[in-house]
Amino acid sequence: MTATQITAPPARQRRARKWPIILALLAPALILYVVFVIFPIGQAFRYSLFDWNGLQPLTDFVGTDNFSQAFEDPVFRGALTHNGIIVALTLLLQLPFALFLAVLLDQDLRGRSLMRLLFFAPYVLSEVVTAVVWRQIFRPGGLLDAGVSAATGEQFQGLWIADPDIVLYSVFFVVSWKYFGFHMILMLAGLQQIPDDLEEAAAIDGANWWQTFRHITVPLLGPTVRVSIFLAIIGSLQLFDLVWVMTGGGPVNASNTMATYLIDWAFRRFQFGYASAVSVIIFVLSLIVAIAYQRWALSRDLDGAITVRGA
């Protein structure tokens, strides 16, 4: 970089020049998004105020009745609790695990390309086959039971997804199994953006691995981790596909999430108005989380020009 002064155009000119560019660059995304996402969501908001079975015209206006009905339904409240448990477990268990694995894969272990490929494989599997395989593993006499029997020497038969008290945790395990790869590659990308020079410089200065990790890697990985946390929370609140095909929310509603609850009411009971109301509730909850999180965590990262720190 030269030492001469950087002369920028005068401010007003810059402002006038930038709006057309801003709009032009935003336009493709914005247009697609408003047509295919915002408009349907807006319609769903509208449906939530009606009692509607999807076939008749929208005539039965019930206002907020759908919402109060949801909160009065013990099954919905149970689903809400389940979502909360999944969020907590995800943040406490799944994310640290994904981070650990990303860092692991960043080391020069042999065979790590193959490992990276395999660790990501569950994410690529469709929910259908994930459910089929894990149901086979969890079934009485299945793979897991066989494994435990082999380990303990006794014939063991567990009710991994048949027992209402433990099914949620079994589901959480499978959800983690499937989705940790997502967070892992996010963090891998984040790790790759950390300049090697910094770490080498720290090593030159005598820092051991842990010190380097704590003082350089983790802070610089901060933005990525925060995005991961944000997506994990939102994803946990929206959790649907895997639960639906694995347990259907059962047995006896023990593994219901808000999303499986709403799909059940929409496509089995044909109560689209009510289901739309539940989806609005999910939306509002997620929105609260999103806003709070953005204020607190993400905004820190956005002005961050991470300059090269002197070695």
Partner 1 sequence: MRTKRSRLMLLLTVLAMVLAACGGGDGGGATDSTETTAGDSENTTTTADSGTDTTEAEPTEEPVTIEWWHIQNNDPGLSLWQAVADEFMAEHPNVTIDITVQENEAFKQALQTSLQAGDVPDIFQSWGGGGLREQVDAGLVMDITDAAAGFDSEFNGAAASMMEIDGRMYGVPFDLGIVGVWYNKALFEEAGIDGPPATWDEMLEDVQTLKDAGITPISLAAGDKWPAMFWYGYMALRIAGADVMQQAGIDENFNDPAFVQAGEELQRLIDLEPFQPGYLATPWDGPDGAAAVLANSEAAMMLMGHWAPGTMSANGPDLAADDNLGWFIFPEVEGGAGAATDAFGGGNGFAVGKDAPPEALEFLEYLSSVDVANRVGGEANLLPTTVGSEGSITDPNLVDVISARGEAGYVQLYLDQAYPPEVGAAVNDSIVTLFSGDGVPQDVVDAVNASWE
Partner 2 sequence: MVDVAIRGRGREPERSYRGRSPVARAMLYMVAFAVLGAIIIPVAYAVLGGFRDTAQLAASPVAFPDPWIFTNYLEVLGSGSFWEQVWNSTFIAVLTVALVLPAASLAAFVISRFSFRGREAVYTLFVLGLLFPVAVAILPLYIVIRELGLLNTTVGVALPQVAFQLPLSIVILRPFFASIPRELEEAAIIDGAGSLRFYWSVLLPLSRPVLATIAVLTVVTSWNAFLLPLVVLTDSAGWTLPIGVTNYSTQYTTDTARVLAYTTLAMIPALLFYAVAERQIVRGLVAKGIKG
- Residue 224 burial (C-beta neighbours within 10 Å; 0-12, 13-18, 19+): buried
Q: Which is nearer to partner 2, 165 or 287 (CB)?
A: 287
Q: Which is nearer to partner 1, 57 or 111 (CB)?
A: 57
Q: Token pair for residue 169? A: 């945790």
Identify whether 251 is preceded by a cis peptide bond (ω within 30 of 0): yes
Q: What is the Cα 130 distance to its own chain's centre? A: 18
Which one of 66, 247, 253, 279 is in contact with partner 2 (CB under 8 A)? 279
Q: Which is nearer to partner 1, 80 or 102 (CB)?
A: 80
Query: Which single residue is written with the structure tokens 């799909």?
Result: 263
d(CA 255, CA 233): 18
Regarding 253 and contact with partner 1 (CB under 8 A), the answer is: yes
Q: Which is nearer to partner 1, 30 or 189 (CB)?
A: 30
The contacts of residue 85 (CB under 8 Å, 6+ apart) are 168, 172
Regarding 90 and contact with partner 2 (CB under 8 A), the answer is: no
Report which DSSP code applies to 4: S
Supply φ then ψ for residue 131, to 5 degrees: -65, -45
Regarding 55 and contact with partner 1 (CB under 8 A), the answer is: yes
Which one of 63, 84, 96, 304 is in contact with partner 2 (CB under 8 A)? 304
Whether 233 contacts 91, CB under 8 Å: yes
- In the list partner 1, partner 2, none, the entry touching 1 (Cβ below 5 to 8 angstroms by class) is partner 2
Of the ranges 155-163, 193-201, 226-234, 281-289, which one interacts with partner 1 (CB under 8 A)?
155-163
Regarding 54 and contact with partner 1 (CB under 8 A), the answer is: yes
- Residue 284 burial (C-beta neighbours within 10 Å; 0-12, 13-18, 19+): exposed
Q: C-beta of 171: minimal distance to partner 1 in Å?
A: 11
Regarding 62 and contact with partner 1 (CB under 8 A), the answer is: no
Regarding 41 and contact with partner 1 (CB under 8 A), the answer is: yes
Q: C-beta of 111: minimal distance to partner 1 in Å?
A: 34
Regarding 99 and contact with partner 2 (CB under 8 A), the answer is: no
CB count, 10 Å around CB of 22?
10
Helix 272-293 to helix 65-72 angle (10° resolution) is: 80
Q: Which is nearer to partner 1, 181 or 249 (CB)?
A: 249
Burial per residue of 62-91, b for 16 or more beta-carbon CB atoms within 10 angstroms, e otherwise: beeebbebbeeeeebebbbebbeebbebbe
Regarding 224 and contact with partner 2 (CB under 8 A), the answer is: yes
Of the ranges 111-119, 267-275, 285-293, 301-309, which one interacts with partner 1 (CB under 8 A)?
267-275
Q: Which residues bind partner 1 (CB under 8 A)?
A: 34-35, 38-39, 41-43, 45-46, 53-60, 132, 135-136, 139-140, 142, 157, 159, 161-164, 167, 247-248, 250-253, 264, 267-271
